Amino acid sequence: MSEEQRENGGDVPEIELIIKASTIDGRRKGACLFCQEYFMDLYLLAELKTISLKVTTVDMQKPPPDFRTNFEATHPPILIDNGLAILENDKIERHIMKNVPGGHNLFVQDKEVATLIENLYSKLKLVLVKNDEQKNNALLSHLKKINDHLAQRNSRFLTGDTMCCFDCELMPRLQHIRVAGKYFSDFEIPTNLTALWKYMYHMYQLDAFTQSCPADQDIINHYKLQQMLKMKKHEELETPTFTTSIPIDITD
């Protein structure tokens, strides 16, 4: 296990989050969406000083013996709170909401937003598997609905001017759409979705996103492995890059 990262200390409970490491170097953050989502949730709580956060990456291609001993075949994310390991995504979410100090504030009840962002990722996966106009249009239509929602609410984030669990779920998926969609299918988020780009601009300013975000190369390799494609040697040696610029001018 490697690349330990700590946020805050002092007299607050320490939460450890074990996440998948890069499939390129086995050390830096990997491109697991759920790992980033819970990393963001917990990072926000660490910023509020309700917890101390320790993040550990694990190379799942060569997991260390102590990891296999403790967790057998379980894949990250894994949350450890006071010696208790929580292993399943829905249980991790419930634990953050009910047991981690301040966690209940992140989990806003908003059925409209929950419905709005579900199935977005499955539409990206379809575009990556077979790039055709119908699948592209389905993804575009979904992004337009999110854009229209943001424009109508005229707020910085999905449910208001404070980040919540829905933002921690949506933004990593938008990043995968940007990076993997462009690389594999030449798919780009249209510049006329200005409310969506403004949203992404605000997210790119936040440590909770930038500290948890995987490199572009790791996002690309994540899908190459799913498609049984090998990464070229020069790609493995590339300096990690992070796409965080936006193609339109934003005035706050």
Amino acid at 58: V
Q: What is the pLDDT of residue 203?
A: 97
Over range 124-152, report the average pLDDT.
Answer: 93
Q: Is the pLDDT of residue 251 over 80?
A: no
Please tell me the number of Cα atoms within 13 Å of 24 on its side-chain side. Answer: 25
**pLDDT tens by residue, 175-204:** 999 999 999 999 999 999 999 999 999 999
d(Cα 122, Cα 33) in Å, to the nearest integer? 13
CA-to-CA dists, residue 197 to 65, 165, 190, angstroms: 44, 19, 9
pLDDT surpassing 90 at residue 3:
no
At 250 the pLDDT is: 82
Confidence of residue 2 (pLDDT cuts 50, 70, 90): low
pLDDT given at position 229: 74
Report field, pTM of the whole predicted structure over 0.75? yes
Q: How far is CA 168 from its chain centroid?
A: 7
- pLDDT score for 132: 85
Reading the block at residue 6, the tokens are 């700590």
Residue 187 token pair: 């798919």
Contact predicate 36/213, CB 8 Å: yes
Strand locations in the chain (E):
2-7, 14-20, 52-58, 78-81, 84-86
**Band of the pLDDT at 92, cuts 50, 70, 90?**
very high
Q: Is 66 left (phi over 0), alpha (psi -120 to 50) or beta?
A: alpha
How many Å apart are CA 184 and CA 200, to the nearest integer? 21
| Exposure of 111 in the CB half-sphere (CA atoms within 13 A) | 0
Q: Which long-range contacts (CB under 8 A, 24 or more apart) does 113-117 make?
A: 113/149, 113/158, 113/159, 113/166, 114/166, 116/145, 116/146, 116/149, 116/158, 117/146, 117/158, 117/166, 117/169, 117/170, 117/173
Across residues 87-105, what is the average pLDDT?
Answer: 96
Rounded to whole angstroms, the Cα distance separating 18 from 87 reads 10
Q: How confident is the model at residue 29 (pLDDT cuts 50, 70, 90)?
A: very high
Q: CA separation (Å) from 9 to 96, 169, 206?
A: 18, 26, 20
Between vectors from CA 183 to CA 177 and to CA 187, what angle results, nearest 5°? Answer: 55
pLDDT of residue 120: 95
Average pLDDT over residues 127-142: 91
Burial code (b: 16+ CB inside 10 Å, e: under 16) for 67-86 equals beeebeeeebbbbbbeeeeb
